[in-house]
Amino acid sequence: MAGKKIKVAFGAGAFLEHVIKEMPSCEMFDFAVDNDINKHGLTVGGVSVRPVTDIVQYSKENMNVWICVIDNTAINAIKEQLKSLGIVDGVHIISSDHHVQLGDALARLKENEDNQDYGNLNLPSFVKSFERSYDCKSGGYRFPNENYLNFACVEVPVGRFYYALILLLGGTGISCVLETGTNIGYSTIMLAAALKEVNPRAVLYTIDIENFPHIFDYVQDFDNVVFLNGSSINVDLPPDIVIDILVIDSDHSYTVCMNELLRFEPLLKVDGYILMHDTLYYNSVGYCVAQLKDNPRFEVITFETPRIHASGSPGLSVIRKNSANGFPLYFDDSKIKEKECRTGQPPAFRRGYML
């Protein structure tokens, strides 16, 4: 048994038999011990039963003892008995009482605590450095060569929300994300980094009318990003594209935003999602969200986001496409065509679509 920890069950009663039935064979105890001399030499569920004092033949560092008793009031006395044999570490409890079991689980986690995160964002170090230029008081970015705040990219918590959402939905099979409004590509790299986690073959198409320098060109291994330089309204797309997640964050005028929805929503799969930034700040974008809210094919929720604008938060709307049947989207000529920021009043769609 060199190199492998010896696994001992303390308590060779009916409860041990029950536990053994539920255990995979690779996890099986090496032997059991019991204070009842009548059980010594017997087997329980295929595991031999020995006197408790046999434990001392083995190195304590190399041993895990699992207390398996139905009577939880006996646990402390057994722990004391093990302590008297020099065994304190590596003592665990398998209990019929869920509370005791959970308490033991937490105690074991505490014993082994470390500083590692589960699901720590798997970001290139350059992106982490970029995020450090985020000024959380204003929600803008303070770049090294600029003495003013830059508000072009989504806020860091929004970027991280995009990352988390891709992980959240990864199980639904995401293979294509399409984004309008790349700018320097902060939202792009957050989406692309998460996509790499859920599907190494997934592709992110990102469209911008400008060709700015891009974060994703400064990091290696982001060949899952395809930059399309042109207007979102008419740039060429790959043939037969089916979009799993559509991210809209380009011009913010009603004309461009609605035309993006009219062009890309039919390419979005049913059960797919649309993410729209700046929906509370720009009424021109908010009117598009209002139409989605009124359409029974979609579910919509809007969150405030941290950036401080004089007239309120930029906002992020998350839209789920529940159906492709009926109720097509349409261009409403009565709506503001250009960008219109919200002023003193609540955002457009929180006042109702017809206002």
**Shortest distance, position 215 Cβ to ligand SAM, whole Å:** 8
How many residues does this entry show for the chain?
355
Q: Is 279 in the site for ligand SAM (CB under 6 A)?
A: no
3-class secondary structure per residue, 234-292: CCCCCCCCCEEEEEECCCCCHHHHHHHHHHHHHHEEEEEEEEEECCCCEHHHHHHHHHH
Q: Which residues of 142-169 are buried (b: 16+ CB within 10 A; e: fewer)?
A: eeeeeeeeeeebbbbbbbbbbbebbbeb
The residue among 321 and 339 lying less far from ligand SAM, judged by its C-beta, is: 339
Please pick, from the candidates 34, 104, 244, 249, the single residue that binds ligand SAM as defined by CB under 6 A.
Answer: 249
How many CA atoms does the CB half-sphere of 121 hold within 13 Å?
21
Residues 225-244 that bind ligand SAM (CB under 6 A): 231-233
Give CA–CA dist 347/278, Å, rounded: 11
256 binds ligand SAM (CB under 6 A): yes
Contacts to ligand SAM from residues 123-162, by CB under 6 A = 152-154
Q: How many residues bind to ligand SAM according to rule CB under 6 A? A: 19
* The only residue of 156, 166, 207, 246 in contact with ligand SAM, by rule CB under 6 A: 207
Using rule CB under 6 A, residue 340 touches ligand SAM: no
CA dihedral 202, 141, 284, 289 (to 10 degrees): 40
Q: Please select the residue that binds ligand SAM; options are 11, 139, 140, 181, rule is CB under 6 A.
A: 181
Q: With CB under 6 A as the contact rule, which of the stretches 31-39, 125-133, 175-183, 268-276 interacts with ligand SAM? A: 175-183
Confirm or reject binding of residue 250 to ligand SAM (CB under 6 A): yes
**Per-residue contact flags (x/-) with ligand SAM for residues 186 to 205, judged by CB under 6 A:** xx------------------
User: Do 254 and 287 contact (CB within 8 A), yes or no?
Assistant: yes
d(CA 79, CA 65): 10
Q: What residue ranges bind ligand SAM (CB under 6 A)?
A: 152-154, 180-181, 183, 186-187, 207-210, 231-233, 249-251, 256
